[in-house]
């Protein structure tokens, strides 16, 4: 599966802890992330993460482009709802694309855990059919 990982600044520590806790699941999949989030995950876990630009510099849009091409299966985006984001329109567009292309999206740790546990059990394998692949 192709998984995108994004975290606002105040949520980056949470993302690193989350990926570290579920590294045994994540290491079996292809990971993509915005710049600093990807760097922090790689430093903490040693896993290979394809890094895009930082979110405010277009990273959200780069991930959105993969969604629009139906090339991502899961997006985990730890958002900070208490801090104004200068690139909020990009965030909204990314979430909209997840809805348009039926890409599962978790915006907090609780939902992300349910999603990752579902991935571990094979509950997300329907995405391979959506992309025209056979697992």
- Residues annotated as catalytic are 60
C-alpha separations of 107 from 27, 110, 128, 130 in Å? 21, 9, 22, 22
Which residues of 37-80 form beta strands (DSSP E)? Answer: 49-51, 74-78
Residue 32 near residue 52, CB atoms below 8 Å: yes
């Amino acid at each position: 599966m192709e998984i995108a990982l994004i975290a606002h600044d105040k949520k980056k520590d949470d993302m690193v802890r989350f990926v570290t806790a579920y590294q045994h699941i994540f290491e079996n999949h292809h990971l993509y992330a915005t710049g600093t989030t990807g760097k922090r995950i790689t430093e903490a876990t040693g896993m290979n993460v394809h890094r895009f630009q930082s979110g405010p510099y277009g990273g959200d849009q780069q991930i959105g482009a993969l969604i629009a091409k139906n090339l991502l299966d899961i997006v985990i985006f730890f958002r900070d709802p208490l801090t104004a984001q200068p690139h909020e329109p990009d965030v909204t567009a990314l979430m909209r694309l997840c809805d348009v292309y039926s890409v599962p999206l978790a915006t907090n740790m609780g939902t992300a855990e349910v999603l990752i546990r579902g991935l571990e059990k094979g509950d997300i394998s329907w995405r391979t059919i959506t992309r025209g692949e056979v697992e």
